[in-house]
Structures are given as structure tokens and as C-alpha cells.
Chains A and B, each alone.
Chain A
Amino acid sequence: MSALLEARHLKKYFSTAKGTLHAVDDVTFSLDAGKTLGVVGESGCGKSTLGRVLIHLLKPTGGQIFFEGEDITNLKKAELKKNRVNMQMIFQDPFSSINPRMTISSIIGEPLRVHKIYKSKEDYRHAVEELMDTVGLAKRLENVYPHELDGGRRQRVGIARALALNPKFIVCDEPVSALDVSIQAQVLNLMQDLQEARGLSYMFITHDLSVVRHISDEICVMYLGTVVEKAEAKTLFTSHRHPYTHALLSAIPQPKVKKDTQRIILKGELTSPINPGPGCRFAPRCIHATKECFERAPELQEVEPNHFLACHHPE
């Protein structure tokens, strides 16, 4: 099976007053149709930037993006617009990602209007109604404004808008982190149902590791712009080998009475992504770091089938 989406050596640098900020640095992965790739990492590791680069909200500095085998890295505006039909995004904050001055139905229908999908008003209205029904928004909410809705419903509006064009791939940037747990579970279930019904592929960006394990087929752990480990969801949780993955997983507080897990508390914080040195980005906080780690960056290598790792001293 050929991959739906593929990124090869993708890079995104920003120039700042202090130097070049390496937000995404040499990221390679592929995603099959109907699957979910989870991307985890702490704030500032470049996971949101990666999502934005993939759907061309940001222009990559280097590397290539393939969608259904076709190179879409340097598309012209008109071609890009055509491509967007297949790729959509659900944003993190349901409060700021929808226009407060538009009604719910016009927000959901906007992509349909922009791409002139329906000729008749009847068809358009019918499509919007169907979308609202799909995500579980009552028809009476058609003409209300976003401020009248709670966070969970607003996020459903964002999901409906992303689904409007019947895309194949959706980047979900922390879609549930602004929601309460009981509502979070409702939205996660909805997203899974939609995936099964429509064969959607998701790239699921989050910092919540229990959510990512639940929803992903594969998980990719990022640290300061680079992928440090990538494996199937179960493998990653049971037999991860990168020290950062280990520390990250052991840091999750679990709602259970005392378990005998050894917690690794990382010292310090994320170092600056501006003009990073030649070595491994995690080396300054790593317990196993040696001289080699500071001098030469490890490459992402396949250590077992479908388990990729970038570390000189795997656990």
C-alpha cells in the first residue's frame, strides 16, 4: 500500500533577531490512508509547526511533501487551493478558531462556498444540515453564534468545518486539550467514529500521552524540532528505547494508587531551538549523555521493523 502522505527531510526555520530558529528539523515520516499518526512532545518542540507546514499554512524551508504520491511541496496558489480540498485542519482553541460574527451554519458552510461545491442553495443547505447532524449538533443551533455554545459544541463546529469538503487527511492540533475530560471523551469518540465511517487519516498533535495512545496507530515523539522515536502506539508505550521517551512516559501522573514505576525527573528545561549545536538536542538533559552525544547528532534509524530511533545510547 502506498502512503497517503509522506514527508521527506522536512525543515522549517524561522529567522529571529537572535539567529535561526530550527522549529522543524529534518523530519521524515509517512502516513497510510485510514490511519492515525500521533505527534507528541512538549511546548516548543515544533509539533504544531510540523502540522502547519504539512497543510501549507507555512512554507517549508527544505524537504518535500508528497500527497498520494504527488509532490505538493511547491504548489502554485490555484493548485494549492485544489489540494486543500483533501487536507483540512482542526485547531486547538475552539474559542479563537471560529469567527464570532458568523452563525454556526455559515461557519460550517464556508469551505463549501469558497470552493463553490454546490450550485443550488437547496443542495448547500442540505449539505450543511448533514454535516451538523454528523458531528451531533442539533438543527436548532443553525443560526446561533459561537459565543452561545460551550467549548465541546464549538469544537464540534470546528470538526464539521474540517469535514465539509470530505477531505482525506486532517491535521488535528490539540483538538481536545481545551475541553473537560467528560467532554473530551465525547469528542474523541466522535473523531474515531468519523474515521471509521469515512476512512480519514489523522495527524493527531497533542501533549496528552494517554489521549495519544488511545487514538493513534503510530506515535512519533518530537524533541526540539527533531523526531527522536517513532513506533506503533503499543510498542512505544511498552518497549520505547529513547531516554526522552522514557522520561516523558514516566512523568505522566496516572490515576492509580501507588504503582512501582520508577519516575525519571528530567533536570532543566527545553534548551533554545535557536542556532542549535551539532550534537543531539536532548543531550543537555539526558542521563546517558556522553561526549559523542554533544558532538554528533544521532540519525533516525530503524532498530526493529517499524520502530525508528535516534539515539547513540538507546536503553
Chain B
Amino acid sequence: MSENILEVQDLVVRYDTDFESVHAVNGISFHLERKQTLGLVGETGAGKTTTAMALMRLIPSPPGRIINGQILLDGQDIMTISEKEMRQIRGRKISMIFQDPMTALNPVLPVGDQIMEVVQLHNKGMSKAEATRQAMRMLEMVGITAERFKEYPHQFSGGMKQRVVIAIALACSPELLIADEPTTALDVTIQAQVLDMMRKLKDELGTSMILITHDLGVVAEACDVVAIMYAGEIVEYGTLEQIIERKKHPYTIGLFDSIPDLDTDVHRLKAISGLMPDPSNLPEGCKFHPRCPFCTEACKTGEVPVAEVEPGHLVKCLQFAERGQEA
């Protein structure tokens, strides 16, 4: 048993069409210790969901292709195994909660059957009665009474549906859970309920988690380690405290400044100027340079090295790379 549940090395994912190639994920590396929660943060098009799909090996191909990279799940390289073996791993070892609970469930099947499906798939030979019992236990665990086992998704509210999706994802006690914007579609009070529940379940079952979100508040609430993504790259990586208290990358700083603070008054928000670059036509050099207030000539060409500004705190920005060399 290795110490890290997940190790990702230099992952590159590209979507190729006849007209263009979309560089969705461009060489990201990270690792996740057991029982920890990694927050993957970024805006639309930063490559968060593509990264998650790559970890599940669910990138639609064509047009998607994992060009390069190694993904070690519990020490096992999942890039080289067959699709049949991967199917055994999905749901049992690694599982996913999808963003939109309204579309993640099958509208014509009772929710109980949908949970049972996972249980039966991964426990061949389990009797139907036993699978039913297990599914009911899962429902109770996410706070839905087992009496609603036979009800259909449309009879549940958004928050309840998300609980069902979580129950399905956790049905076989996976070691790694990927949650893709699990609370984005929910109201704040319901979001608080769901986050609270996920935290409790994670502690109980000892699951490791990757939480994908664009909400920095949710990150502060739930994560141990944070990776900030921009244009398919991890631009900053560190512990929650490092990212929130001692953020270094201009994009991370801009992202935090864009959110109105509840405790202090500012007349105008400090917006990041410009737009996310088009992933089919990424700028040369640092991907953030057209929007960066500290951009220099050197930023516009060449690869940006990753600098370790303090133990475990990685920043992909030239400002710090140079400082690192001087020291």
C-alpha cells in the first residue's frame, strides 16, 4: 500500500477535431495523500473536469485523447490496463459525483434501483435481498429514509437528488472520490447541509477526495490541499493555508480579489482584466501573461518553470523562479 492514493505525472489531454486542437490539460502533476481532500479550483475552461474525466479514464475518444502522462492509483498505473480492468476499478476504487444532480440520475428508474445497480455490478454473487439492504443502508447514510427507496428522481428536490448521487458514488466504499462541483446547483443552506454530510462521510469511510469547484469559499470549507488551475495548467499548488494566507501567483491573487469580501467594504472590485484564453489558441509563454498586471517581456516566451517558494508550496510564475535562483 503506497502512501499516496493518487499520483499524476505530466498529464496532457487534447481534443482534436478536423479544424483545431483544443489543449484542455497541459502537463499537470500532483499527488494526493490518503484521507486528504484536494481542491481543484479554476474558472470555466480551465481543464478541471477534463482532468477528472482523465482520472476516471472517461475522456470521450474521439475527439479526446490522453497524449501523455502517468496516473498511479494506489500504486497501479491505470493508463496501461485494459478497459475491462478499468471497469472493475471504476465505482469500486475510484468514483465520481457529477455536477448536475438533475441529469446524473436516470429519470425512469427508482433511485433505489440505481444504487443497487452499482452494488450488484461490483459484488457478483451477492443476492438481490442483500444488495437491496446495502442500497437502503446507503440511502439512510446520506439522510434519506429507506421508505423512499422506490421513488423516482422527479419526486426528490435538488438537494435530495444530490444526496442520491452521493449515495451511488459511495455505495462500494471507493478509496478515491472525485466530486465535480457537487454543490454548485444547490442553494446555500442546502449546500451547507451537503458539504457537512460529505465531510462526515469522508471521515467515517476514510475516503480520499478530489473536490472540483470554482467557489473559493467551498474550498476553504472542505479542502486540505489546493491546486489552482488556469488554461490547463496548475499555476499554484499548496496547503489550504498557504493558498489562502500566502498566495503568490498573480492569477490566484486576482481570483480572490474578484470576490466581494463579506467583512470589509470596497467600493470597486479588483477585476482581472480580459478573458480566459481560447484553449485551441493558447498564448506563448506564460498562459496568463495577457491578463497579468506584472507581465514582463520574459513572460511572453518560453516555458515557465515551477518554483517551490516554501516546502510544498509550488508556484508557476517567473517572478518567483528568478527569486529562487538568486537565493
CB distance from A153 to the nearest CB of B (A): 8
In the docked arrangement, what's the CA distance between A269 and B143, Å?
13
Is A181 a contact partner of B255 (Cβ separation < 8 A)?
yes
Q: Collect the chain A residues with CB atoms within 8 Å of residue B258's CB.
A: 181-182, 184-185
Count class of interface residues, chain A: 35 or more
User: A214 near B269 (CB under 8 angstroms)?
Assistant: yes
A211 engages B189 (CB within 8 Å): no
The reply to whether the CB of B28 lies closer than 8 angstroms to some CB of chain A is no
A255 within 8 Å of B (CB atoms): yes
In Å, the complex CA distance between A69 and B271 comes to 38
Q: Are B219 and A255 in contact, CB atoms less than 8 angstroms apart?
A: yes
A257→B220 contact, CB < 8 A? yes
On chain A, the residues within 8 Å of B273 by CB distance are 186
B272 touches A185 (CB 8 A): yes
- Of chain B, the residue at the smallest CB distance from A250 is B192
A210 touching B261 by the CB < 8 A rule? yes
Query: In the assembled complex, which residues on chain A have CB atoms less than 8 Å from the CB atom of B109?
Result: none
| Interface residue ranges of A224-256 to B (CB < 8 Å) | 234, 237, 247-248, 250-256
Cβ distance A252 to chain B, nearest Cβ, rounded Å = 6
Contact B271–A182 (Cβ < 8 Å)? yes
Contact B260 A210 (CB under 8 A): yes
8 Å CB contact of A255 from B159, B256, B267: B256
| Residues of B close to A255: CB separation below 8 A | 216-217, 219-220, 244, 256, 259
Tell me how far the C-beta of A137 lies from the nearest C-beta in chain B, rounded to whole angstroms. 13
Residues of A within 8 A of B284 (CB): none
Whether the pair A211, B268 counts as a contact (CB closer than 8 A) is: no
Q: Does A194 reach chain B (CB closer than 8 Å)?
A: no
> Which residue of the partner chain A has the closest CB to B220?
A255
Question: Does A304 touch B at the CB level, under 8 Å?
Answer: no
A266 contacts partner chain B, Cβ-Cβ < 8 Å: yes
Q: A181-B214, A181-B255, A185-B271 are in contact. Are A256 and B189 (CB under 8 A)?
A: no
Cβ-defined contact, B275 with A252, below 8 A: no
Say whether A213 contacts B262, CB under 8 Å. yes
26 contacts between A and B (CB under 8 A): A42-B187, A150-B275, A181-B43, A181-B255, A182-B254, A182-B255, A182-B272, A185-B258, A186-B271, A186-B272, A188-B260, A188-B271, A189-B269, A192-B267, A210-B261, A247-B189, A250-B192, A251-B189, A253-B191, A253-B218, A253-B221, A255-B217, A263-B192, A266-B193, A269-B159, A269-B190
Residues of chain B having any CB pair with chain A under 8 Å: 43-44, 157-160, 187-193, 195-196, 214-221, 240-241, 244-245, 254-262, 265-273, 275-276
**New A-B pairs, 18, CB < 8 Å, besides A209-B262, A256-B244:** A42-B189, A42-B190, A151-B44, A180-B43, A182-B258, A182-B271, A182-B272, A182-B276, A185-B269, A210-B261, A213-B260, A251-B192, A252-B188, A255-B219, A255-B244, A266-B189, A266-B192, A269-B159
